[in-house]
Amino acid sequence: MTTDVTSAARKTMAKLHRAPEPDVLKPMIERARLDASERKRIVTRAEHLIGDIREAQHRSWVAQFLNEYQLSSQEGLALMTLAEAYLRVPDATTADLLISDKLGDADWRSHSRSSNSRLVNSATFGLILGRVMVGEGEGGGGVVRKLVGRMGEPFVRQAVGAAMRLMGEVFVMGRTIEEAQKRMRKKENRNFTASFDMLGEAARTQKDADDFYESYWDAIDKVGREPDRDHTVSIKLSALHARYETSQYDKCVPEITERLTQLCREAMRQDVAITVDAEEADRLDMSLDIIGAIARNPEFRDWNRYGLAVQAYGKRARAVIEWADTLGRPMNVRLVKGAYWDTEIKRAQVEGLSDYPVFTRKASTDTCYLACAKDMLEAKNIGPAFATHNALTVGTILEWAAERHGKDWRGFEFQRLHGMGEGLYDRLVDEEGYHCRIYAPVGGHKELLAYLVRRLLENGANSSFVNQLADDEYDDAALLADPVEKTAKVGGSMLPQIPLPIDIMGEWKNSQGIDLNDRDTLLDTARKVNAVDFQPEGIDSVHEDPHHPSGRSRAFIEATRTSNDDVHGAITAAQAAYPEWDLRPVEERAGLLEKFADVLEENRIELMGLVVKEAFRSIPDALSEVREAADFCRYYAHRARVDMPSIRLPGPTGEYNAMKLEGRGTFATVSPWNFPLAIFVGQNAAALVTGNTVVAKPAPQTPMIARRIVELAHQCGIPHDAWKLVTGGADVGAELMSDTRIAGVAFTGSIATAKRIASTLLVDEERPIIPFIAETGGINAMIVDSTALPEQVAADVMTSAFRSAGQRCSALRMLILQEDVADEMLAMLSGAMDMLYLGDPGDPATDVGPVIDRDAYDKLMSYRETMRPRWIKTVEAPEEGLFVPPTMISIDEIEDLNREWFGPLVHVTTFKAGKLKETVQRVNAKRYGLTMGLHSRIQKSADIMQTWARVGNLYVNRSQIGAVVGSQPFGGEGLSGTGPKAGGPHYLPRFCAERAVSIDTTSAGGNASLLSLDTGEI
Ligand SMILES: Cc1cc2nc3c(=O)[nH]c(=O)nc-3n(C[C@H](O)[C@H](O)[C@H](O)COP(=O)(O)OP(=O)(O)OC[C@H]3O[C@@H](n4cnc5c(N)ncnc54)[C@H](O)[C@@H]3O)c2cc1C
């Protein structure tokens, strides 16, 4: 398959993807700038259009409703979350909880008479009624409550349900394609054409993808039967495959290409035009490969009803248009600004990427849109469609189209979304003969929810034109300010409130990521990581079978073991190094850690290679190991500067009181194989920066990574004897703990080992009582109620339970589903499990690698076997290698799981609606307390969890692994650990001795400063 990477436009695209905004925008400003007379005509035109929109809004209760409930108001947000979840809730108990949650606190009364529209007011009244009914009413509601009480709660549910459906209908053309086609025949739509879109979240299972494919096929078929209407179909590639991801390129791109080819073949046969929607920036390269493959397929050479959407908020937008034009065949291009702006910004921050793929100022997006529009109007092969609800944008396009092609030129179309931009195009279409197409979503109520949220966001965001139009604070001059001049004025610079991803942490630098969603970068990274040499000198083989990670050879562990004498020797050396290291200024130690963080990042490929080869972590996991290690160093350096300096304390006159933190001596650290780099670095960095020296014992399975880390630390200037390494298994650990010179212990591992260490530390009566920081495992639960979005749950369960083959202490062990939605959720989870790829950790496609060693494998497999009658779902695993197949196991109740199974096995049970608190308490009763998760749209449920969950880390509506240093300090309580939390503000003091000093400053002969206080002045 041709990937088209060689084309010049694709190369430009790669350069622009994360380029600095001013560089990207400079040529666009030149391209889009207006002269004074042009600008004047455009503004006049836009003013008329604004007048038309305002008039239409007077007629539209929807516009008034959205205006009344702005997203910036509490009520607007409440409505949005209610709308997002309500229609998928099957059970009455949760529906009532959700209504009470969303309608309870907001101030609906302030809206009850404020609107001119009777319908808006009656909708508001309905919402107030709902609030009173569910028992949240304030004084005066009692009468109403009694009244409607007689009608029963179902009445309220029905009323709220109807209101939500009404909101849905505003943005959705019909539940079925037939319904939508019928609606397009109505008077108000008569002069518009439609592009039908099949609603739904991106496919998560093969079944989803098959269903979407069928519905697109059906839509093409039905549209084809109305040839005189010229409707078209829009297709989302993410709907055609459950794993439309760069890491799965080799599978998903050919499969989607094949499916799109079939759909296009049918569309060509039926003479129906197809547009491929634009999705997340990460997917752009793949989508161009797919779109390009069809464009170049000789079968479609003469077909001029094919095209794609291009997002102007993306830095690559112009290059994509150039690419489409250079395909050398007719291509229809729909220019949009882009619907995922907030997601793109967050993703780049989370992944620590060098820059954003999108602009950070709204005016920059507008400038890019205009530059793209100009390109499109002049392009040879492009059929332009301009999708916007912005009157100024429309006015500019009208001006340029006329300028370039003559006043009567109509060789392009406008597009708007159903439910938006009403009034903007009416005159243009009805009186001036321009063509406007309505993007017309089709789907049932459940499917519309995610789409509805996007639309409500678009209507509600302060930056959007439709929102500003409705806002009295913006007059026409502000609405029509020239975006190109605004952009030029700031030189295309970034919005100051949005720092680069590396700067988001403020006081310390965020770690650098690698853009693994860029295919070239991913392949290049994988190649380099796999080429890392991993063959320790003097040892024949690290693994029993070098081709398959089938377990570590005993010889390797023996050969890397430190002798008992050397263990004690290491402590002697570290003790000797302590006074000098502790006396160094904290700034110097912090500076060394920061240097070390930089060096870790400089050597990240090699380190990732070691993690992949020694610990069988996947490539993304290995990257996050390096990032977390660097984060620990920088964060602890920052915290040390805050925590360590002496603080003055109050007291009587003539006394100096102060306290400071200092190192305690030599710490012993014991780290696990499952985070061979991050935890190893984290524990030791904390000990070192606080002035301790340290003897570190990594897990026997991963000594090579540790060895390399310590080597790098020494190269950075951390003294050799300040950080000593000893390697080996439990016997070496015991030897280390038995040495009474140890001043503190930081341990991560099993609860059994933690207890053994704790008792060793207490046995010897002569021995001082020293700090013991322990991180142990957990029976981590995730609770999912019926308001949760199944697609999101599926993604988060896959990540939480199976990433790193379930070998994270935070991993999901017990999924607790509300019984009303359990079957539906399990079907989706099973489908998502089928899409997991098990393989060599060095393969970029791998989701789940082998477990760490044969011991772990045997234990997990034999337990899994005993649970065979209770398997809900399992998947096939490669035959060779220590692969434990991800498995869902049913248990009758929460009490049936009482130990941690450290692998990709997740237990599933159910709970009853309305019993969240009891459920949490039953989980608490296990006395583990590491992580817990909740998926719910009910804020009060999140509050209940925050009040009652006895865990160190609670995660709501997200996965429950991957704690970020400084943002989600990590560590448990009860059987899960002692705290303080790693990566949190209280960690360092635990490594320190607190030393207070009090000095009588008068003892030298009187309190001179007291006597000098009163100078006699009044
Ligand atoms: C027919 C049609 C089809 C569509 N198809 C797609 C599609 O395939 N893919 C897709 O992603 N979207 C699609 N959209 C949605 C589209 O992206 C939004 O409707 C559009 O961005 C709104 O722009 P506007 O010109 O109407 O409004 P405006 O108010 O002028 O622009 C709002 C837009 O500006 C951008 N923006 C907001 N704040 C900032 C900021 N701080 N920095 C930079 N940019 C900012 C965002 O893109 C936001 O949506 C489609 C829209 C229509 C009308």
Q: Is the peptide bond before 980 cis (omega within 30 degrees of 0)?
A: yes
Per-residue pLDDT at 394 exceeds 80: yes
Q: Give 443 Cα–ligand 1 centroid separation in angstroms.
A: 22
Q: Give 99 Cα–ligand 1 centroid separation in angstroms.
A: 31
Contact predicate 326/7, CB 8 Å:
yes
Q: Give 391 Cα–ligand 1 centroid separation in angstroms.
A: 13
Contact predicate 987/639, CB 8 Å:
yes
Reading phi first (left if > 0) and then psi (alpha if -120 to 50, else beta), residue 909 is in: beta
Largest CA distance in the chain: 106
What pairing do the DSSP bridges indicate for beta strands 780-784 and 723-725?
unpaired
Q: Residues with beta carbon inside 6 Å of ligand 1?
A: 277-278, 309, 311, 313, 334, 336-341, 359-362, 364-365, 387-390, 393, 415-417, 439, 458, 463-465, 495
* Paired residues of 910 in beta bridges: 817
DSSP string, 888-914: EEE-SSGGG--S---SSEEEEEEE-TT
In tens, the pLDDT along 437-471 reads 999 999 987 787 778 788 878 877 888 998 888 88
Considering the candidates 264, 372, 436, 809, report the single residue annotated as catalytic. Answer: 809
Q: Ligand 1 pocket check: which of 233, 288, 335, 337 to mutate, most ligand atoms within 8 Å of Cβ?
A: 337
Reading phi first (left if > 0) and then psi (alpha if -120 to 50, else beta), residue 724 is in: beta
- Whose CA is closest to 821, among 833, 812, 829, 813? 829
Alpha-carbon span 901 to 78, nearest angstrom: 40
Q: Give 558 Cα–ligand 1 centroid separation in angstroms.
A: 61
What is the per-residue pLDDT for 108? 61
What is the per-residue pLDDT for 551? 47
Q: Give 338 Cα–ligand 1 centroid separation in angstroms.
A: 4
75 is catalytic: no
Per-residue pLDDT at 3 exceeds 50: no
Q: Whose CA is nearest to atom 17 of ligand 1?
A: 338
Radius of gyration of the chain (CA): 32
Per-residue pLDDT at 2 exceeds 90: no
What would the mean pLDDT of 1002-1017 be, rounded to a whole number?
A: 81
Q: Give 372 Cα–ligand 1 centroid separation in angstroms.
A: 14
What is the per-residue pLDDT for 133? 52
Contact predicate 348/357, CB 8 Å:
yes
What pairing do the DSSP bridges indicate for beta strands 647-649 and 655-663?
antiparallel
pTM of the model: 0.94
Q: Which atom of ligand 1 is nearest to the CA of 340?
A: 11
Per-residue pLDDT at 684 exceeds 80: yes
Q: Give 624 Cα–ligand 1 centroid separation in angstroms.
A: 32
What pairing do the DSSP bridges indicate for beta strands 812-818 and 905-911?
parallel
In tens, the pLDDT along 507-516 reads 999 999 999 9
252 is catalytic: no
What is the per-residue pLDDT for 102? 81
Considering the candidates 775, 791, 900, 992, report the single residue annotated as catalytic. Answer: 775
Per-residue pLDDT at 271 exceeds 50: yes
Q: Which residue has the higher pLDDT, 275 or 82?
A: 275
Exposure pattern of 628-642 as b/e (b: 16+ CB <10 Å)?
bbbbbbbbbbbbbbe
Per-residue pLDDT at 552 exceeds 90: no
The label of the residue with tokens 């000093």 reads 997
Q: Whose CA is nearest to atom 31 of ligand 1?
A: 464
Alpha-carbon span 192 to 154, nearest angstrom: 40
Per-residue pLDDT at 116 exceeds 80: no
CA atoms within 13 A on the CB side of 257: 21
| CA dist list (Å): 778 to 781, 807, 919, 926 | 9, 11, 17, 9
What is the per-residue pLDDT for 134? 52
Q: How confident is residue 142, by pLDDT bands cut at 50, 70 and 90? A: very low
Q: Whose CA is nearest to atom 25 of ligand 1?
A: 388
Q: Ligand 1 pocket check: which of 198, 276, 336, 343 to mutate, most ligand atoms within 8 Å of Cβ?
A: 336
Mean pLDDT of the chain: 91
Q: Which atom of ligand 1 is nearest to the CA of 387?
A: 53
Q: Which helix (H) or strand (E) holds 321?
A: helix 317-326
Neighbours of 19 (CB within 10 A): 16
Q: Which atom of ligand 1 is nearest to the CA of 464?
A: 29
What would the mean pLDDT of 915-939 be, rounded to a whole number?
A: 97
Instruction: For residue 419, give the 3-state DSSP assignment.
Output: coil
Close Cβ partners of 563 (under 8 Å, ≥ 6 residues apart): none
